Structure 1
Amino acid sequence: MHTQINNRKPHMKKLISTASILSLIAVIAFILSPEVKAASVTSISTDATSYQSDEPILISWSYGSSSDARDGDWIGVYPDHHINDLPSGSEMWLWVQSLTQSYRAGVPDAAGGSVVFDKNGPVETGRQSWPLAAGKYRVFLIRNVAAPYAIVEMSDPFTVYDSQTQISIDQDAYFENDPIQISWSFADGIAQDGDWIAIYPENDGSTVLPRGSDLWIYALSGTQSYSAGIPPSHGSAVFGAGGVDESGQQSWPLPGGTYRAHILHPNYEAVASSSVFEVLGNVCPAAYEEVSASMHLAPSDADNVGRIAFSSCYKPSSQINDKLWRYLREDYCTDGQCVWAWLGDNMYMDSNNMDHKRNAYNAARNDQYYSSMGPIADPKIPVTGTWDDHDYAWNNMGKYYSCRQQSQNEFCHHFNVAESDPRHPSQGPNQQEGIYSSNLFNRPDGNPGGIHLINLDARYHCSPTSARYGPCEGTSSSMLGDTQWQWLENELNRPSDVKVISSGIQVLPPTHKANTNSFCAYDGPSGTFVQANNILGEGDDSFSGTSYESWGEMPQERLKLLRLVQKSIADGNALQVIFISGDQHWAEISFKDIPSIGDIPTVRVHEVTASGIDQRWNQIIPNPNRLKLRETDSGSECALPFTYRGVVYDDCTTVDHHTPWCYTVPDDTFGGRSWGNCLPASMYSNIVSSKKNICGDDASHVCTAQANFGGISVDWEEQSVTLSILTPHDESAPVAASVSFAL
């Protein structure tokens, strides 16, 4: 107020009385006082997160304001799985105002109250379910309307444990990949050192179980890592995707069938067994939600295209603003000759339930930032792409996902695939199996044969990479399946200037060399798995790439892909081939020289990985094929620019050494382990790196940016190609890394 008065009428300042100033100080003091609380909200809670079955439960509640309370509001205890609909028949209940089951007594007091449920009350009607059976529950503040009841507020979950030795599951039936919550308790003196929890098929019985459970953990540690000691009186665990799975030996997801959970002594004797539960395999609940009216524009072969922009791993709720989409629209795709490609995890929904997937796809398109500035906004930027595990099925799944076709149908709705497209469900029995596709775009001047965008489907037909994802197929393992391989070979025989091949997972990082015998495709130290890496010059253990999923987990298939690409270039069907990929939650540029074979010469191919809207993975990840500014003979990247004896060097130098050298860690002291002899300069004379948002000193490994997308730009006048990693949230360096080379 003082500012307004002074700005308008400076002479009024003297009219403010001492009393007014004191009053203002009092108001400010009141506002800042720690005694002043934020606006109240309606809440309900219990006094603990776990109870024995006969232990009293104290429940407390309050309303945000008197207007929030209603005559007839009531408190009810329900099993936790009823959080979305409350049927008739709560375990325990009472009216809020009277704290009985007898009468409503008017509008409840907004200040709230509390009550104890136990064996002594409130049970005046004789209908309370005391004691509560072992399991997981919540307390609900409920509005008195017909069932299913309206939830005003609910507590955090709490668990009730039986004083007897007992094990229970949270549901009677699960869809494939639904998490399974298990709770157990021991009676006094029953627990033994080494007791464990396991799930077995129902027909294995419930006395002495055979070796080889589907899922198991130790009762003490809650893991598969043994630690000596007697388990506590009770515990719980969740088996599921990303659940107790650290050994890599869990059989997740459970196939369709009936099962029991057991508490077992070390000798496989069942101490207690749960009721039978069912996993509904091969069940794919249909979508009933309408497809959002906000739709993508699919690209056409008739489009004139000079740029491809792309990214993956899209979590709309993680975005903080529209900077990435605004930069895409206002700085990168400015000429109307651009296509956006999604590279998988285009939303996150690990489920067999197609309605869940449709809702997630709708939410991805309707997101406030994406719908206002992204490719879906007007004027639309054509959108195409592929998928990966978390939009297709769930983590690392391939051909054994039981809802492949239904998931493909939702993909087609999301990308607005034309009904005449072979991927579309309207094709009926002739529908293509898999979402692979291609577009051969015109050059920007309208001439044909420009950029050929080929979208691979590395999920629908992909063999398990490890036994966790289905039965291993050994040397018969396939990444694409026979039909798609033939289709790809045909596509690579179509002439174009540049072929851009999209894959949900990375192609060029080499095989991770630790525990290679755990890969399904591994066939021994002298087999085709090792031979494929040797042929590509990557047999040495120093050529070890990401431990996360990649084509390197099937090196035989990776070699097949690279040989087909090499032949396409040698046959004159492409001047350059560039892979684009997602999945990893970081961005990087890679290259690979494919060794000559027969009359086919060595060719160099590139890959741009772009992943994370808005996600990031701040870890140093090995990739010997990652693009480096300058490289030393040890494979390390030069830390350019570097300072030596007060002089700044932007490239390798021969000062005080007989051959060009550089620091690999910024330093001002020649010697030690922080330097190396430079290899000859590569074909690239214009690698650009902001060296911001990177992991370690790898200039093109962008891993800490708020979000990133990749770009491929072809300049036919200059006969050049530019690969870029863009990080628009960093306004001082939106181009994190780029490299150009001759077309």
Structure 2
Amino acid sequence: MPRPLLRRQAIAASVAGLALPLPAQAQPRPLTRVAFGSCADQARPQPVWDAVLGYRPDLFLFLGDNVYADYATSAADTASLFAAYDRAQKIEGYARLRREVQHLAVWDDHDYGENDGGASYKLKGQSKEIFLDFWRAPDNDPRRRREGLYDARIFGQAGQRVQVILLDVRWFKSPWRPTDERNAPGKERYLPDDDAAKTILGEAQWAWLAEQLRQPADLRVIGSGIQIVADGHGWERWGNFPRERQKLYDTIRDAGASGVVLISGDRHLGALYREATGTPYPLLEATSSGLNKFFPNPREAGPNRLGGVYGLPNFGTIDIDWWEGKVALAIRDDAGQVMRRAEVRMELLRAT
């Protein structure tokens, strides 16, 4: 039997019984508590899951780096990625969340297979197959028939409808422009690149996103592995391709999509951001990273950041008060305590 099939069967057998995402019509009540996070190293302890489960989310969103398994682009096998998932599923808290909590997932670079990787990564097809098997995507899942792992789901009924959009920022991504001064503040790894030919989402995903944003929804959560509105640093972020970031803002505006809030991971720190320049309305972003992989003393400029960064294990939450018409984004520590919080009235999340 071919090795990839053996692996697929092994994953299917070992994760039998884990919770699958439920269709919107199965929701007994509207979503009011959404949790999210990124950067979970399977080789390190992960005590944060106790706090995540204690928050009792209606939905959990895995924003990438859900395991760590980089391997050479010339490798003939994906054994390290398969082994990383196998180890992760044996972590008690991780497995319990997947059994008990409705969840969705997308990847970032370390579960994609190449650090800061993009469209040129040679083993992305194999990585995608292993990803979908681990997250128990059914055989008829559209992600099995198209390039990339972008996904969208609707939860709830009219008036309390949440749309979750998870973007794939790896499969189609053009190469970043390397820095000319490595580790210099604001230029750590990459520089902004105004090349109109470069992309983050790729043509097919851009068209899909425009279509999704025209679907009826009262609140929209857009998840990206890398930060969207954050400025002031030279690590991976949408601002390294300013045309692509502005295209995202314009796509939201052109679709008449109200209620958008943004979430991201990747950075090994937690922080909140707000952007009102070039956007259809002020956009809030919550970056939660990492669940157990973090920078303890981060220092960086944050011209559109709300408060300081948080440099210990963390997860993010979205509390939705449909009756007061408010949504609150927060970064919580590994005991579940709120470390950073921003609230906005939903009526303000509309283009004027």
Please tell me the TM-score bracket, short chain as reference: 0.7 to 0.9
Q: Deviations for 1:540-561, whole angstroms, at most 9, x for unmatched residues? A: xxxxx12111111111101100
Residue number in structure 1 paired with 2:304: 625
Structure 2 residue ranges without an equivalent (≥5): 180-188, 347-352
- Corresponding letter in the other structure for 1:627: L
The one of 217, 222, 226 equivalent to 1:501 is: 222
Structure 1 pair 376/320, CA: closer, same or farther in 2 (3 Å)?
Answer: closer
Residue aligning to 1:612: 290
In the alignment, what sits opposite 1:438? 152
Q: 1:236-635, aligned counterparts within 5 Å?
A: 286=4, 288-289=6-7, 290-291=10-11, 292-294=13-15, 295-302=18-25, 303=27, 304-319=30-45, 321=47, 324-333=48-57, 338-351=58-71, 352=75, 353-371=77-95, 374-377=96-99, 380-424=100-144, 431-442=145-156, 446-447=157-158, 450-466=161-177, 474-510=195-231, 545-568=232-255, 571=256, 573-574=257-258, 576-595=259-278, 602-617=280-295, 618-628=297-307
Secondary structure of 1:317's counterpart equals coil
Q: Deviations over 1:568-598 (max 9, x none)?
A: 4xx3x42x211110000001010100337xx
Q: Which amino acid aligns with 1:418?
A: P
> Cα 1:716–1:449, aligned 2, differ >3 Å: closer, same or farther?
closer
Kindly tell me: are residues 320 and 485 of structure 1, through their superposed partners in 2, closer, same or farther at Cα, counting changes over 3 Å? closer
Q: Can you give the 5+ residue segments of structure 1 that lack an aligned partner in the other structure?
A: 1-284, 425-430, 511-544, 597-601, 629-697
Greater strand share, structure number: 1
Separation in structure 1 between the aligned mates of residue 178 and residue 137 of structure 2, nearest angstrom: 34
Task: Quote how far apart the aligned CAs of 1:473 are.
Answer: 10
Q: Deviations over 1:79-136 (max 9, x none)?
A: xxxxxxxxxxxxxxxxxxxxxxxxxxxxxxxxxxxxxxxxxxxxxxxxxxxxxxxxxx
Shift of 1:296: 4.3
Contact residue 581 and residue 610 of structure 1 kept, 8 A: yes
1:363/1:737 CA distance change after superposition, 3 Å: same
Q: Distance in 1 between matches of 2:5 and 2:85?
A: 12
Once residues 204 and 268 of structure 2 are traced to their aligned partners in structure 1, the CA distance between those partners, rounded to angstroms, is: 30
- Aligned-residue offset at 1:712: 0.8
Distance 2:194 2:233 in 1: 23
Bigger shift: 398-407 or 452-461? 398-407
How do residues 58-69 of structure 1 correspond to structure 2 at under 5 angstroms? none
State the Cα distance separating 1:475 from its structure 2 match.
2.3
The SS at the match of 1:395 is coil
Contact in 2 for aligned 1:385/1:502 (Cα 8 Å):
no
TM-score (norm 2): 0.84
Q: CA deviation at 1:330?
A: 2.5
RMSD: 2.3
Letter in 2 for 1:454: I
Q: Are the counterparts in 2 of residues 288 and 355 from structure 1 also a CA contact under 8 Å?
A: no
| Shift in alpha-carbon separation, 1:296–1:346, aligned structure 2, 3 A | farther
Instruction: Give the conservation status (yes or no) of the 8 Å contact 1:562–1:594.
Output: no
**Whose helix proportion is higher, 1 or 2?**
2
Instruction: Please give the secondary structure, in 1, of the residue aligned with 2:40.
Output: coil
Number of aligned residue pairs: give it.
319
Equivalent in the alignment of 2:344: 741
Quick one: which amino acid aligns to residue 358 of structure 1? F
SS in 1 for 2:53: helix
Do the aligned partners of 2:333 and 2:339 also contact (CA within 8 Å) in 1? yes
**Aligned CA distance change for structure 1 residues 391 and 607 (closer, same or farther; 3 Å):** same
Q: CA deviation at 1:467?
A: 6.5
Deviations 1:170-198 (A, max 9, x none): xxxxxxxxxxxxxxxxxxxxxxxxxxxxx
Q: Secondary structure at the match of 1:479?
A: coil
Residue 447 of structure 1, CA deviation: 4.3
Identity %: 29
1:591 aligns to what SS in structure 2? strand
| 1:462 CA displacement | 0.6
Q: Quick one: distance in 2 between partners of 1:454 and 1:725?
A: 20
Which whole-Å CA distance do the structure 2 matches of 1:467 and 1:328 have between them?
A: 37
Mapped to 1, the partners of 2:86 and 2:293 lie a distance apart of 20
Superposed CA deviations along residues 55-94 of structure 1, whole A, max 9, x for unmatched, are xxxxxxxxxxxxxxxxxxxxxxxxxxxxxxxxxxxxxxxx
Structure 1 residues 595 and 558: alpha-carbon distance in aligned structure 2, compared to 1, 3 A threshold: closer
| Counterpart residue identity of residue 365, structure 1 | Q
